[in-house]
Amino acid sequence: MLDIIFKNNQPQAAKAGGAMLNSCVSLGRIGLPVFFISEYAGDNVGKIIDSFLIDNGVGTTYVDHFKEGKTKLALAFLNERNDASYTFYQDYPERG
């Protein structure tokens, strides 16, 4: 998913996120061979995530880039202590 981070109701950053993705990036950054196994759309948001993974040494060979639907977004709203509350948006294709 892509995290869009808000502070004082203003967008501050957009970053690829999720626990497994973050773990893969940590391994890729220290030079270990790692592949991300997941699914997200082949849309512009998905391309941002692909680029981030590749730039950090993570293979995307096993990512399913679905053609219908959109990549999941998480809006993270930070309070004055930088604690986040989240709203999620997803539009996955129907399974047959």
Q: Is the pLDDT assigned to residue 96 strictly greater than 70?
A: no
C-alpha 7/C-alpha 9 separation (Å) is 5
Q: What is the DSSP string of 37-59?
A: -EEEESSHHHHHHHHHHHHTTEE
C-alpha 18/C-alpha 45 separation (Å) is 14
How does pLDDT run across 59-79, given as a tens digit for each residue? 999 999 999 999 999 999 999
How does pLDDT run across 6-56, given as a tens digit for each residue? 999 999 999 999 999 999 999 999 999 999 999 999 999 999 999 999 999
CA distances from residue 73 to 13, 27, 35, 81 in whole angstroms, order as listed: 13, 24, 22, 23
pTM: 0.88
